[in-house]
A and B are shown apart, each in its own frame.
Chain A
Amino acid sequence: MQCEEFEDRLNAVLDKRKRPETDAELQLHCETCPDCRHLAATYGRLLDGFYALATPHPPSDMAMRVLADLQPKVSPRRRWAVAAVALTTGALATAAGLLFAVVPLLRSHSQVPSTVLPTLATVASSDQSGPGSRGARIPLTGRSLESLELNQLPIVPELLALRTADEDPYAGLAKETGQSLATVVLYVPGIGGSKGIVDASGKDEPAWAAQMSEGLKPITDSVAETVNLLLRALPTVVSDSRS
């Protein structure tokens, strides 16, 4: 071997992930050529130095950081909008409760025809039509709440969508809408899921989610159960308001 060929041969040996001293041809040449022997030694030193480099440990929370990054970003304006939706929903629910309480009182103390009274189903289903469709127009006045189908209740549309979710309703709606769990909780306040309170740790809006979900603890393990519980509670509200 000539000196001109030595470095190429040396690289070829390193390409096979072998040490220069393991190659007989290189060794033979090195015995008679101090320059090439020195060159082989420098390559060896280079790799010794490289492999001695300490490998830093990656951050242990990398996976959670990545997941947080994957969550849709919620701007402050958007957060206000979401909070407003939650408040509006709460206000609607309160109004519904009051309406249920007031309607029987009105019926007992006046002769106003029931047809002119506002009905919750009408309010809830102004954009729905057709027999059996969600929120079909059914006058609620004088009807027992327990007799109503779930899809006739004036609750936010997401609630009705949750009814058909196979497993955890929060997760089902989150997947369907592409929203974070925290956002879903805000859109559907007060409705319990198997996961209940959103686990805000590691999410991109932990303080916000924790704060907003604080008062939204799940009542039961399923939406239907929660709604039925609410239905059973409503007559109590009525009787309380009468007394």
Chain B
Amino acid sequence: MSDNVRELVHQCLRGDQSAMVELVSNFRGQVFGLCYRMLRHRQDAEDVTQESFVRALRSLGTWDQQREFLPWLLAIAGNRCRTLLAIRMHQPATSSLVEHLSDDAVGIRDAENLAEEVDLALSHLRAEYRQAFLLFHQHEMSYSQISTTLDCPLGTVKTWVHRARRELIARLKDRGVLQESRHAVRRV
């Protein structure tokens, strides 16, 4: 972690509001990006991003300064996202992008729609798989960092990312976005 961030954190701990503004501005993109991909709903992502920063600033004193700041921050955001996803599971579905896309025709091939299909497939992953996949591919964190962030063994993180890839491909094939091999019955 850079000394700049550490200094910013120290200023925040002293109650400097301008430092808090700078800290939020520096990391809002990463936190919002994760929340948006996890939740696939802009307003929810904004709310969870805001809540994550508030929690982080209130518990800055508990952050181990020997560790990197961003994984710690993303861990808070990821936990909030998973909590919201768990709540959603117990609520009746509302209109969302997921439903909109589900009505789309199968067989889309262009890059833009491929991205949308990947986004849709991501939403069907288990929250742990999705978060691990996003931290690895979107935030380019190492398995070691993700392991710390998610507080689970490194081997587990690796398994989650691999399963996420495999399940995404399976779903894209089910949707007809990716073709099955014509040559043989695929192994599972």
Contacts and interface: CB of A to CB of B under 8 A. Distances in A.
**Are A and B bound to each other?**
yes
Interface residues of B, number: 53
Interface string A149-183: 00000000000000000000000000100000000
B24 A50 contact: no
A48 B114 contact: yes
A65 interface: yes
Interface string A1-24: 001100100010011010000000
Contacts, number: 113
A233 interface: no
Nearest to B15: A175
The size class of the interface chain A forms with chain B is 35 or more
B49 interface: yes
Given A11-B162, A56-B32, A67-B21, A42 B169 contact: yes
A58 B29 contact: yes
A11 B165 contact: yes
Interface stretch (B2-10, B66-74, B94-102, B177-185): B177-185
B36 A56 contact: yes
Given A47-B137, A52-B115, A58-B28, A15 B158 contact: yes
A111 interface: no
Contacts of B21: 63-64, 67
A132 interface: no
A49 B117 contact: yes
A35 B186 contact: yes
B57 interface: yes
A116 interface: no
Given A35-B183, A38-B181, A49 B114 contact: yes
Contact of B181 (A35, A62, A175): A35
Interface string B3-39: 0000000000001010011101100110111001100
Contacts of B45: 56
A223 to B, nearest CB: 21
A55 interface: yes
B118 A50 contact: yes
B24 A52 contact: no
Contacts of A225: none
B151 interface: no
A76 interface: no
A112 interface: no
Contacts of A39: 181, 186
A66 B20 CA distance: 9
A218 to B, nearest CB: 20
B118 A46 contact: yes
Contacts of B42: 56
Contacts of A42: 169, 172-173, 178
Given A52-B115, A56-B45, A62-B50, 15 more contacts: A11-B162, A15-B158, A39-B186, A42-B169, A42-B172, A43-B165, A45-B114, A45-B172, A50-B137, A52-B111, A56-B32, A57-B29, A62-B28, A66-B57, A67-B17
22 contacts: A35-B183, A45-B178, A46-B165, A48-B111, A50-B118, A50-B138, A53-B119, A54-B115, A55-B29, A56-B36, A57-B29, A58-B28, A59-B28, A59-B32, A62-B25, A62-B49, A63-B20, A63-B25, A64-B21, A66-B20, A66-B54, A67-B20
Interface of A: 3-4, 7, 11, 14-15, 17, 34-35, 38-39, 42-43, 45-59, 62-67, 69-70, 175
6 closest A-B pairs by beta carbon, nearest first, are A58-B32, A49-B118, A49-B114, A63-B24, A52-B115, A38-B181
